[in-house]
Amino acid sequence: MLHETEITQIRRKVLCALSKLTFTNRLEDHVQEILETVVTENGSRYRCCIHKERAVLKERINLALSQPMSLPLTEAVRQARSGYNPDMPVVNVIPEACDQCPIDKFIVTDACRNCLAHNCIASCPKKAIKVIQNRAYIDKTICVECGLCKRSCRYGAIIEIGRPCERACSLGAITAGHDRRVSINYDNCVACGSCKLACPFGAIDDQSFIVQIIDALKSSARVYAMLAPSFVGQFGVKIKPGQISNALKQAGFYAVREVAVGADAVAAAEAREFHNTVPEEKSFMTTSCCPAFVNLVEKHMPDLRKHVSQTPSPMVMLGKMIKQEDPEAIIVFIGPCTAKKEEAKKSGIVDYALTFEEIDALLAGAGVCLADMPDDQYVSQASYSGNLFACAGGVAKAVVSAAADLGLDSFITTERCDGLDNCKTMLAQLKRGKVKAELLEGMACQGGCVNGPGTMADCRVTAKQLERFAFQGSGAAGNYR
């Protein structure tokens, strides 16, 4: 398992407490007690006082209820359980938690020679740079952190130190105001979750629908769990897929389905789409399974939208299959991704999305222990290729394999890119003709979904476990082709 930081521990305590109180019908009357059980008088202190700790925790609870952070806790619970779903972003800054990092973004080092050119002074639009004691000095009360001084210094004597959240976002969606508190520009944000992982104060988090899902489980509704391929190994190397499936059913899910089955259908559909469009246009097509990658194209490179596959993602594809079988189904995607929460909202097919961390908390709240569940020697209903959608390079290989199975031209030149920085670079190179590829696989996370922000285990371990699981699969999903 991955190292659990204290941020992770606090977040899981909140999710587990909400889960347990909801399962036992005590949420409305006891939600306030979470403030005192998670932050105790004698417990650890990360901020100035217990009152500040609890103010941060209150906002974290509201976000876990998927409600505005300004609401009183009891009102947030009432709205969450009434089915109210506010129009709010998936990834949010928790205002009370932001440390307003007192980092001087641009610093003059000892390499400054107090040269005669004084390019740094000349370039500064706010006149924030002076020479003091024979070296340049930046007046932070005036500096707007534009970076012109750094670019103009020929000695490289001015360095840039970015805030962790800003460094993590390669799309410029995170900025700090004059009060140094960060905000998210949602016109640029693709909901990848990188900033959440990067913030050392736990000041960025994604909304959760754990309470709403538990309410659905306790009702007479048929709630389907859709497991992303990367579920293998997420709950410990000794926990078997059959135990995970049985645990979900024990918690109240009506049925458990594999998103890899949807991946098989996507591979076949994208192979047909490629065959019908790309050769004629002598262009290229990108995959569409990663919502953060699709958001990257739509928000930052809109002129390339026409190149993105029109085939739905495996999550949506499987959701459609389930809805065809059971129109009244409530569908919950369980995976490693924060961007899937946004995609689920927009899909009109999938009702909710949870991360592996959240489903672990849900099972804990239900009193279900994975290790105690029977192992039914679960065999995947998807193909080897469908399961490996979760690993970088797996989608492109699956499409090529599907093209061969369908009797289509499988001599397809492919490229892959994982990590948003790499995706931006690859798309730009394809656009300029610097890279020759007919099919581009794009993944926002380094290494693919097995390394998503909602994972709980080392991707190097889970990737190997997933490959073993995929190899033992039945391949029954080939029928969907």
Same domain, 316 and 192: no
Query: What single letter denotes the amino acid at residue 70?
Result: S
Q: How far apart are the first and last CA of the chain?
A: 36
Instruction: Please give the residue that has the higher pLDDT: either 475 or 185.
Output: 185
Report the pLDDT value the prediction gives residue 475, as an integer from 0 to 100.
56
Token digits of residue 136:
């340049």
R_g of the chain computed on alpha carbons: 25
What DSSP state is assigned to residue 450?
G
Same domain, 62 and 151: no
What pLDDT digit, counting tens, does each position of 64-87 carry?
A: 999 999 999 999 999 999 988 889
Task: Residue count of the chain, please give it.
Answer: 481
Please compute, for residue 323, the number of CA atoms within 13 A of its CA located in the half-sphere on the CB side: 15
What pLDDT digit, counting tens, does each position of 371-428 carry?
A: 999 988 889 999 999 999 999 999 999 999 999 999 998 799 999 999 999 999 999 9
| H helix runs in 219-354, sequence order | 241-250, 259-281, 291-300, 314-325, 339-347
Same domain, 149 and 195: no
Q: At 429, give phi and psi (nearest 5°).
A: -70, -40
Query: What single letter denotes the amino acid at residue 118?
Result: H
Same domain, 130 and 78: no
Query: What single letter denotes the amino acid at residue 163?
Result: R
Give the rounded percent of residues in the chain with a pLDDT score beyond 70: 97
Task: Taking residues 443-469, report their average pLDDT.
Answer: 95
Report the pLDDT value the prediction gives residue 477, as an integer from 0 to 100.
45
How far is residue 343 from each of residues 132, 194, 288, 353, 441, measured CA to CA in Å?
Answer: 54, 17, 12, 9, 18
Confidence of residue 162 (pLDDT cuts 50, 70, 90): confident
Residue appearing with tokens 């709240």: 365
What is the helix (H) or strand (E) element at residue 471, kind and residue range? helix 459-471
Cα–Cα distance, 365 to 360 (Å, whole number): 9
Of 1-5, 58-62, 95-99, 128-132, the range with the lowest mean pLDDT is 1-5
Same domain, 227 and 200: no
Task: Taking residues 19-27, report their average pLDDT.
Answer: 97
CATH of the domain at 239: 3.40.950.10
Number of domains in the chain: 4
Question: Is the pTM above the cut of 0.95?
Answer: no
* Mean residue pLDDT across the chain: 93
Instruction: Please give the residue that has the higher pLDDT: either 16 or 49.
Output: 16
Give the range of the structural domain holding residue 52, as residue numbers without chain letter: 1-82
Report the pLDDT value the prediction gives residue 175, as an integer from 0 to 100.
87
How far is Cα of residue 51 from the mean position of the Cα atoms in its chain? 31
Task: Taking residues 169-192, report their average pLDDT.
Answer: 90
Q: Which of 207, 238, 273 is the last residue of a domain?
A: 207
Same domain, 116 and 78: no
- How many other CB atoms sit within 10 Å of the CB of residue 467? 17
Same domain, 367 and 336: yes
CATH of the domain at 146: 3.30.70.20
Conformation bin of residue 141: beta by default, left when phi > 0, alpha when psi is -120 to 50: alpha
What pLDDT digit, counting tens, does each position of 404-414 carry?
A: 999 998 799 99
Crossing angle of helices 6-23 and 356-365, in 10° steps, is 50
Evaluate if residue 21 carries a pLDDT over 80: yes
What DSSP state is assigned to residue 88?
-
CA nearest neighbour of 307 among 221, 180, 428: 428
Confidence of residue 480 (pLDDT cuts 50, 70, 90): very low
Report the pLDDT value the prediction gives residue 208, as an integer from 0 to 100.
97
What pLDDT digit, counting tens, does each position of 244-290 carry?
A: 999 999 999 999 999 999 999 999 999 999 999 988 777 899 999 99
Evaluate if residue 479 carries a pLDDT over 60: no
* Under 8 Å between Cβ of 6 and 199: no
Same domain, 344 and 374: yes
Same domain, 184 and 95: yes
Q: What residues contact residue 136 under an 8 Å CB cut-off, 6+ apart?
A: 108, 112, 114, 118, 120, 121, 129, 130, 149, 157, 158
Report the pLDDT value the prediction gives residue 46, as an integer from 0 to 100.
78
Same domain, 200 and 235: no
Helix, strand or coil for residue 180? coil
Evaluate if residue 200 carries a pLDDT over 70: yes
Confidence of residue 102 (pLDDT cuts 50, 70, 90): low
Same domain, 351 and 449: yes
Same domain, 144 and 177: no
